[in-house]
Homo-oligomer: A and B are copies of this chain.
Amino acid sequence: MGATKTENFTDKHNEIANIARALGHPARVAIIEYLLKIKSCICGDIVDELPLAQPTISQHLKELKNAGLIKGNVNGTSICYCIDEKAMAKFAKQLEKWSEQASEIKCC
């Protein structure tokens, strides 16, 4: 074996795990923070910002896109990747809920 038994878990748990997994690599965290820092889209310049080769970065962007955290629009010769505000807000809300619930537990 070795493959995650996705089908044995609820859709909700899989969805949360998918988003979290996408954020589970420092390069992808760096991409998100870069997008927030420049307050606009990535249009070509990201390759100079990360210590990784272009194909690797392209792969990481694809994973963030698949998870729904960023979206890409073609813009001439370059591609415009930007944060999907709604997806980020949804995940943030889930974490806030967890955090609230955790604060209510009295034990250990």
Say yes or no: A88 contacts B102, CB within 8 Å. yes
Give, as a whole number of angstroms, the nearest-CB distance from A24 to chain B.
3
| Interface size range of chain A in the complex | 35 or more
- Interface SS of chain A: helix, strand, loop or mixed? helix
Say yes or no: B88 contacts A99, CB within 8 Å. yes
- Interface residue ranges of A36-75 to B (CB < 8 Å): 36, 39-41, 51-52, 71, 73
- Chain A positions within 8 Å of B, measured between CB atoms, are 4-6, 8-10, 13-14, 16-18, 20-30, 32-33, 35-36, 39-41, 51-52, 71, 73, 80, 82-83, 85, 88-89, 91-92, 95-96, 98-99, 101-105, 107-108
